[in-house]
Every structure is written in structure tokens, then in C-alpha cells.
Amino acid sequence: MSDVDAVAHLRANLDAIRARIDAACRGAGREPAEVRLLPVSKTVDEARLRAAYAIGLRELGENKVQEAMGKWEAMADLPDLRWVLIGHLQTNKAKYAARFAGEFQALDSLRVAEALDRQLQARGRALDVLVQVNTSNEASKFGLPPDEVEAFVKQLPAFSSLRVRGLMTLALFSEDEARVRPCFVRLRELRDRLRQAAPDGIAMDELSMGMSGDFELAIAEGATTVRVGTALFGMRGTPDSDYWPGFAGGAGDPAR
């Protein structure tokens, strides 16, 4: 596929996604401007990421910090491209995230918060963060149990380089809406409770939930960010289990 064709293909996919977002928002009585589209670029090569940039995308979500850092270094000529980490982060990788990430959506450990804060302070940087919540109650998934989130959030003001913006979750990987929707409902209800209890300086405005196969449900339940990969960039050759704990689908499963 030529560069021109690649750009046209991505633009068509992006238009289709935005039409889905608009329709979901209308159905929920919401404004499309309330929902941020975060393209998920894991496994996507640099050429296609540059095509995404060419059609106006300025944020990319990555699961693995070292993969993301390699892309950031390769695309340093695009300084307004913002990198969002959406996968689990080990404490020994915090030094990489602190170099380039603009946002981290998977905070679920005080050890990671401390490691990030220390590295960010050393660089004079700050980082937007979302707290990851395990709303599906699956042992294989990262994220805090919902009943532990309030106590966790109350400790975050100690880390002054972390700007807490809200919550993130991964729903059950299922085509059954009756099983998926409750994951989104739990996150929204938890966010609403935390708005009353969160310490000063801790915002609870963001709900990052919903992916290619279920973001309409997430929008109906209040998502402010939807994370969309395969619907934009196409099916992956790498199994999603390499990136999402508990994912049972095969390589390139179109649901995400």
C-alpha cells in the first residue's frame, strides 16, 4: 500500500469511528466533544503512525513502555505528538516512562506512584495519571479492586508530580453486553462516589473505558476517553494476550 493509500485508509477508518462515537453520544444524550478518542498504537509500525499524524491525530496509546519509548525516539521530529501509557508499569521501568510519557492510565500501586514521582521530580516534569480499577473482578487483570480505590486515592497527594485525573478500566472480554456493561457502570458509580471523598488536588473527571468492540456501551455509561486500536489501524499480528492480561482471543482479534 502506498503512503497516499495508507493515509486514505486510515482517514476512512477514523471517519467511521467518529461516526460511531457521534451516534453513541446522540443515543446517550451527550455531546461528541465530551468523548476523547485515544488511538491505541501497540504493534503499529512507524510509517502507519506517521500516516496517523498526517490525518491530524496527536495522541497515541501504548501498552509497553519500551516499545513506546522506541517510537518516541524515532518520531522525535514530531514534538507535539503525545504518548499515553495504558498498560501495566513495573517500578524498574518508571525511569523510562518519566522521560517521555504525557499520561499514564494504569496506576494501581503506591510503589509505582513513588517510583514515577521520584523520576519525574528529577526531571522537573509532571504526569497526568488515571487509577486503574479491576471492575471485572478477574484475578488475571491488573487494577485495584473497587473497594480499595478510595483509600489508595487518598494517599496520592503525597506524590506531587502525579496529576490524578480520574479512573480507567478494562471490561470483561465478551460479546455479551449484559456482562460487559456492568464493568462500565461500576467505574462510573465509583467515580461519582470518589468525587465527594477525593482529597484536594485530586480530580475525578476522567473515565477511560471502552475499546473497539464495546466503546458505544462505555459512552452510554459516561466514558470520557475511549481507547481504539484495531478499528483504526486494523487487526494485529501479535496476540492481545501479550498486552492485556486475561485476554483469551487470538491474534488480531477485531474486538479490540
At residue 90, the pLDDT reads: 97
Provide the pLDDT for residue 139: 87
pLDDT of amino acid 244: 47
Average pLDDT of the segment spanning 38-43: 97
Place of cell 467515580: 191
What is the rounded average pLDDT for all residues in the chain?
92
Residue 255 pLDDT more than 50? no
Per-residue pLDDT band for 6 (boundaries 50, 70, 90) equals: confident
Name residue 51's amino acid: A
Comparing 243 with 2, which gets the higher pLDDT? 2
Cell of 141: 487483570
Distance CA 106, CA 131 (A): 6
Higher pLDDT, 213 or 256: 213
Out of 6-15, 226-235, 247-256, pick the least confident: 247-256
Contacts of 114-121 spanning 24+ positions with Cβ under 8 A: 114/159, 115/91, 116/89, 116/159, 116/161, 116/162, 117/159, 117/160, 117/161, 117/162, 118/94, 119/94, 119/95, 120/161, 120/162, 121/160, 121/161
Give me the count of residues in the chain: 256
The pLDDT tens digits of the residues spanning 232-252 come to 999 876 655 554 454 444 333
For the segment 123-139, the average pLDDT, to the nearest whole number, is: 96
Share of the chain above pLDDT 90, in %: 86
Q: What is the mean pLDDT of residues 221-238?
A: 91
CA atoms of 115 and 102, how far apart (whole Å): 16
pLDDT at 4: 81
CB under 8 Å to 10, separation ≥6 — which residues? 48, 51, 52, 55, 232, 233
